[in-house]
Amino acid sequence: MTEGKNLPHSSADVPFRSKEQRKQSLIQHTGLVGVIDEGTKTIGFSIYTTPDFREIAAHRVELSVITPQDGWYEQDPLEMMASINKCAEEAIKQLPDEGFSASDIATIGITNQRETTIVWDAVTGKPLYNALLWKDIRTSTTVEQIVAKVQDPNHFRSTTGLPISTYFSALKIRWLRDNVPEVRQAIRESRCKAGTVDSWIVWNLTNGALHITDVTNASRTLLMNLETQNWDPVLLKTFGIKESMLPTIHSCSEIFGKVTSERSPLRGMTLSGIMGNQQASLLGQMCVKPGQTKNTYRSGCFLLCNTGDKPVFSRHGLLTTVAYKLGPQAPTIYAIEGAVSVAGHALSWLQTKMRILPDSRDAEKYAEMVPTSGDVYFVPAFTGLYAPYWRQNARGIIIGLTQFTRKNHIVRAALESICFQTRDILECMHQECGYEINKLHADGKLTTNNLLMQLQADTIGLPVFRSQLMDSTAFGAAMCAAQAEGVNLCQFDPEKRYYENVHYDTFLATTTDVERKERYGKWKRAVERSLGWVIKQKKTREHTEENYRMLSSLPASIFLISSFAMLVHSLAASGH
């Protein structure tokens, strides 16, 4: 395996500076930027210097997930705010060690899990229900109702870039209206507010003075028109949602207001940046030109490809979304997005369910014990296959087993499955947007696995640039907030050759075109064998095994009943 190395003259056109060069660079710090990073599993607060964006303080806490029943995922909005305040307080305590204080924080940016939806009482400021997470599927029936109404799950794709799906906020708001009496009552009395997590955070930080969102989060609601970047009247009517409930849509980067909450350690600080987390990661990876693409490797994967100032509408089920808009007068930049639903989750499954791995973090060590996967292929279609296949009837398979197969081969095949699924989406992105994709930027927890990164380069035949930040989301949000007009801590320049904290490990392909074609062809064959596994049973008059057991017991039952009746009759007769 080739270890990742910084290659200053690589063909990928990514800037690098040696440590010596960086030491010689004398930076005059102009102020600090704080970032609230609200994810699905963790909440953090990071503080960066400018203009070099060096993280000098940070604190993170776990965020609990509530699962009332299978497929339902909720979080406590009040816990979110308490965690944000705690993280900010702890991070600020670290500043004196770096020679700074809270007064040096010039502005605040926010990045958040997308689609997750919260409704609250505008009078009391209290949530009317728990936050419904992006992956919550309780709205399946609502989706069916809306699709039946418009006759096509892609009916609004040309307007929103999205299909009608359980993912998006419109369906969650509609479900809350239909199923939670407190929400319905608040809507009738015009005191219900609804929004994504960023809106809830800003509302609380400003004591209800601001009810806003940005275009990246709004583009994930299934309610925003991509062209006008306003709430669409037809969509609002279709989902039965009042516009007065929703936040005002802004750009990602502008001065929104100041933190006024007495509960917040950030009181008095300016708010100037909001971005959805995957878009912030795209910006943090410096994917600022059309065709530049990033993949975030976690339990699933999120791939985004910058398509420039024109939205590209996919024919293969990829999502069209706003990448960023760095100012009210700045151009809107779009992206297409694809997701791998099972990536790191496959390794967790091998650990917890199959007991093949003692610890999913040991996957690299186990996989490196064999030179190849031994022609074993693992298609982790646990709940079907998503883009570009969109086959809900697929199920997971491990194929190619022989008497010589060891658990190490299966672990390696699991890592390769992440790479093959990524290639599936990259091929679609290239076809859809028409831009040449000549490298892949990588971040996320799984990227610490060097073998995975090398396998990814070998699978796609492109350089993989792993950000040494591991998670570039907070950096993207920091840059977004710092460059806002009126803040001016830095000047965002797509042509800039380097940023002080943006360093990469580079993994170059070591396979030939022939080898890649053969391996990818076998992956496709494995995928074909996973399709059509779930067959919906039609209601027929055929009896189930249980029915047969019941029927077979009838003669004996009749015999016993008739015998008892005859006995009673004979006793009665003898009595006479």
204-207 CB contacts, 8 Å cutoff, 24+ apart: 204/81, 204/125, 204/261, 204/264, 205/259, 205/260, 205/261, 205/264, 205/266, 205/271, 206/257, 206/258, 206/259, 206/260, 206/261, 206/271, 207/125, 207/260, 207/261
Residues 6 or more apart whose CB falls under 8 angstroms from that of 535 comprise 393
Q: How many CB atoms lie within 10 A of CB 61?
A: 16
Return d(Cα 195, Cα 80) in angstroms, integer: 14
Residues 279 and 304 sit within 8 Å (Cβ to Cβ): yes
Amino acid in position 232: D
* pLDDT at res. 317: 86
Kind and range of the H or E element at 249? strand 248-250
Q: How far apart are the first and last CA of the chain?
A: 100
DSSP 103-136: GGEEEEEEEE-SS-EEEEETTT--BSSPEEPTT-
Q: Tokens at residue 319, please?
A: 């999502």
Return d(Cα 304, Cα 339) in angstroms, integer: 9
Omega before 233 within 30 of 0, i.e. cis:
no
* pLDDT at res. 3: 40
Q: How many CB atoms lie within 10 A of CB 200?
A: 27
Return d(Cα 102, Cα 95) in angstroms, integer: 7
How far from 65 is each of 37, 80, 127, 269, 365, CA to CA, in Å? 17, 11, 16, 30, 31
- At residue 50, φ and ψ (nearest 5 deg) are -130, 150
Return d(Cα 182, Cα 172) in angstroms, integer: 15
* pLDDT at res. 24: 38
Residues 6 or more apart whose CB falls under 8 angstroms from that of 484 comprise 107, 253, 254, 255, 272, 273, 327
Region of 333 on the Ramachandran plot (φ > 0 left; ψ -120 to 50 alpha; else beta): beta
* pLDDT at res. 295: 96
Entry pTM:
0.84
Q: Tokens at residue 278, please?
A: 């995957």
User: Which stretches of the chain drop beneath a pLDDT of 50?
Assistant: 1-26, 539-554, 556-560, 568
Strands 504-507 and 192-196: unpaired
Return d(Cα 14, Cα 16) in angstroms, integer: 7
**Starting at the edge strand that comes first in sequence, how are the strands of the sheet with 117-121 ordered?**
74-75, 131-132, 117-121, 192-196
* pLDDT at res. 470: 67
Q: Residues 360-389: pLDDT tens digits?
A: 889 999 999 999 999 999 999 988 888 888
Kind and range of the H or E element at 391? none
Closest CA to 487 of 255, 258, 252, 250: 255
- At residue 97, φ and ψ (nearest 5 deg) are -65, -20
Closest CA to 274 of 204, 198, 334, 205: 198
Return d(Cα 385, Cα 94) in angstroms, integer: 45
Residues 107 and 487 sit within 8 Å (Cβ to Cβ): yes
